[in-house]
Amino acid sequence: MTELAGAIGGAALAWLALFQLLLAGGAPLGHLAWGGAQRVLPTSLRIASFAVALLAVLGAIALAQAGGLLSPLLPPTWLPWLLWGFVGLFGLSFVGNMATSSRLERLHGAPLTVVIASCSLWLALSGG
């Protein structure tokens, strides 16, 4: 089950990284993120999307490593901190996605954040 959580959570974070890189690059997907107000994000949100993409790559590595799918790239002592951090971050992100007025953002973001938070929680409780 740990491998499955690492694979599913890692894949979800890899998708999030790609999605955020597309947003940062100016793809007209802004209706699915950041409140859904613009199809192409302004510069400030494109920079924020790039930062989220970097964080998502770190998360994908952490979850894959915690699931035993990846040779250690991160110090093992970091994993519990990262996993619990992702539980909290994506738990809060779920709340934000549910609170948005953008129906499409809710449909995309809410399930994604639940998957990431749940897989992070499973791995954190499994000892990371």
- pTM for the structure as a whole: 0.91
Residue type, 16: L
Q: What is the pLDDT of residue 127?
A: 81
* Per-residue pLDDT, 128: 65
**Average of per-residue pLDDT across 79-98:** 95
- pLDDT for residue 70: 87
Tens-place pLDDT, residues 99-126: 998 999 999 999 999 999 999 999 999 9
